[in-house]
C-alpha cells in the first residue's frame, strides 16, 4: 500500500483510514442507535474516510429471529441508514450475509480467540442471562464474527456507542494474536470512535438501564418509526425526579434520568451539556420535557417520513444492497485470500 498523509500506523504496517460499523436488524432502530452510532456514521462519511456501514443479519440470528421479521427489519434498517443521511454514493452500504468473506474470516478468527476471552464479555453475560447453557454457540462466538466484520476490511476506525467498547478491545486482542502467531503485520489495531453527548442513551423508564430495541416495554424507548404524538407522549411520561434542572453538569451526577434527558437534548441539538444547562438550568420538567419533545419531533419526524417512503420500494433497497455487496467484495476478497495464504490454506 502506498503511503498518504492520512495513513495511520498500526502494528508496524501502514493502513489507510477506513471506517466500518454495523447495526443488528433484530428489531426497529431506536433513538439510542441513532444518537450513539448513526449520527456519527453520517458525519464520518464527509470526513477524510472511506466508510462502510452494515446490517449485521448474521449477528441478529444469534438469538431467534422470525424469518419474515428479519427480512423486514433488514430493509427497514437500510432505509433508516439512508433516511438519516448515509448516502449510497459516499458510503458502501451492505447486508452482512451478502458478503460471505465476513463469515469466512469469522471462522479463522474463532480459531484465534480464546474461550476465556469470550467468557469475560459482559454483553454475552447480559444476553445469555441465567441460562447460559441454553444460549446459542453463535451468541458466545459473536465477538469473533464482529472482529471479522472489521478486520476483513482492514478498518482502522469504528464508530459505536459505549456498550461496544469491550468488543472492540477484544477485536484488537484478536488482531494482535493473529499477527503475533503468524509473525505478520497484517491486521490493524482498530480505534473505537465513541464520541458525543449520547454515547449511552438510557431507558426512558429506568435511568440505570440502556435504551434497547429488545426491552419488552415500548415506552422505554423512542423508535425511529414512532410518529410525532407517540414521541411527545413517551417524553412526557419519561421517568424523572421532582427537582428543577441544575445550571451545571455537576448537578446531574446522581440524577440518571435527568442526565439522560439532558444528554438526549444536547445530542439532538448538537450542543454541549453545559450549553443545554445554560439555556434550561432552573427549568422544571413540566417546561423542559415539551421543549425536548418539540426538538425530538423536529429532528426525527423527517427521518421516519423518509424511511416510510423508502420502504414503499423494497426492490430499490435490495438494488442498493446488491451494489454495496459488489463494492465491498472488491475489498474483502483480496484480504481474505491473503489471510488464507498466511494461515497455509492450499489453493486459495
Residues annotated as catalytic (active site), given as ranges? 127, 210, 213
Closer CB to ligand TYM, residue 75 or residue 242? 75
Closer CB to ligand TYM, residue 142 or residue 285? 142
Least Å distance between CB 164 and ligand TYM?
4
Closer CB to ligand TYM, residue 18 or residue 167? 167
Grid cell 509473525 in the structure block, residue: 183
- Is residue 178 within 8 A of residue 109, CB to CB? The reply is yes
Least Å distance between CB 126 and ligand TYM?
11
Residues 6+ apart with CB under 8 A from 68: none
Relative orientation angle of helices 165-182 and 101-110, to the nearest 10 degrees: 70
Closer CB to ligand TYM, residue 202 or residue 317? 202
With CB atoms as reference, the residue minimizing the distance to ligand TYM is 36
Nearest Cα to Cα of residue 74 among 28, 141, 134: 28
Count Cβ atoms within 10 A of the Cβ of residue 295 and give its class: 0-12 exposed, 13-18 middle, 19 or more buried.
Answer: middle
Residues 6+ apart with CB under 8 A from 70: 25, 26, 57, 60, 61
Least Å distance between CB 244 and ligand TYM?
26
Least Å distance between CB 22 and ligand TYM?
4
Radius of gyration from C-alpha coordinates of the chain: 21
CA dist list (Å): 311 to 57, 79, 80, 103, 165: 18, 7, 10, 28, 32
Least Å distance between CB 158 and ligand TYM?
5
H or E element, residue 91: strand 91-95
Closer CB to ligand TYM, residue 139 or residue 320? 139
**Residues interacting with ligand TYM, by CB under 6 A?**
20-24, 32-33, 36-37, 56, 59, 146, 149-150, 158, 160-161, 163-164, 167, 199-201, 210-211
Residue 98 CA to residue 108 CA, distance in Å, equals 19
- For 183: left if phi > 0, alpha if psi spans -120 to 50, otherwise beta; the answer is left
Amino acid at each position: 500500500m502506498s503511503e498518504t498523509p492520512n495513513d495511520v500506523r498500526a502494528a508496524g504496517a501502514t493502513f489507510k483510514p477506513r471506517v466500518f460499523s454495523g447495526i443488528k436488524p433484530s428489531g426497529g432502530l431506536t433513538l439510542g442507535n441513532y444518537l450513539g452510532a448513526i449520527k456519527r456514521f453520517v458525519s464520518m462519511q464527509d470526513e477524510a474516510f472511506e466508510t462502510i456501514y452494515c446490517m449485521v443479519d448474521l449477528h441478529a440470528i444469534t438469538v431467534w429471529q422470525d424469518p419474515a421479521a428479519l427480512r423486514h427489519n433488514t430493509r427497514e434498517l437500510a432505509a433508516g441508514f439512508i433516511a438519516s443521511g448515509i448516502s449510497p454514493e459516499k458510503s458502501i452500504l451492505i447486508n452482512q450475509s451478502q458478503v460471505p468473506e465476513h463469515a469466512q474470516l469469522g471462522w479463522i478468527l474463532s480459531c484465534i480467540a480464546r474461550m476465556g476471552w469470550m467468557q469475560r464479555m459482559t454483553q454475552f453475560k447480559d444476553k445469555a442471562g441465567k441460562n447460559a447453557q441454553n444460549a446459542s454457540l453463535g451468541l458466545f462466538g459473536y465477538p469473533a464474527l464482529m472482529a471479522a466484520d472489521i478486520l476483513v476490511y482492514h478498518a482502522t476506525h469504528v464508530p459505536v456507542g459505549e456498550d461496544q467498547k469491550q468488543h472492540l478491545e477484544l477485536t484488537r486482542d484478536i488482531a494482535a494474536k493473529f499477527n503475533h502467531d503468524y509473525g505478520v503485520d497484517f491486521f490493524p489495531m482498530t480505534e473505537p470512535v465513541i464520541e458525543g453527548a449520547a454515547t449511552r442513551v438510557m431507558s426512558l423508564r429506568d435511568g440505570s438501564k440502556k435504551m434497547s430495541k429488545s426491552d419488552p416495554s415500548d415506552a422505554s424507548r423512542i423508535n425511529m418509526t414512532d410518529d410525532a404524538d407517540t414521541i411527545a407522549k413517551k417524553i412526557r411520561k419519561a421517568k424523572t425526579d421532582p427537582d428543577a434542572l441544575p445550571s451545571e453538569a455537576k448537578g446531574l451526577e446522581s440524577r440518571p434520568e435527568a442526565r439522560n434527558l439532558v444528554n438526549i437534548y444536547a445530542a439532538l441539538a448538537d450542543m454541549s451539556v453545559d450549553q443545554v444547562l445554560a439555556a434550561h438550568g432552573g427549568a422544571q420538567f413540566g417546561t423542559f420535557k415539551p421543549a425536548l419533545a418539540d426538538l425530538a419531533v423536529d429532528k426525527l419526524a423527517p427521518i421516519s417520513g423518509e424511511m416510510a417512503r423508502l420502504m414503499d420500494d423494497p426492490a430499490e433497497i435490495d438494488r442498493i444492497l446488491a451494489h454495496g455487496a459488489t463494492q465491498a467484495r472488491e475489498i474483502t476478497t483480496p484480504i481474505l485470500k491473503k489471510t488464507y495464504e498466511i494461515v497455509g490454506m492450499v489453493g486459495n
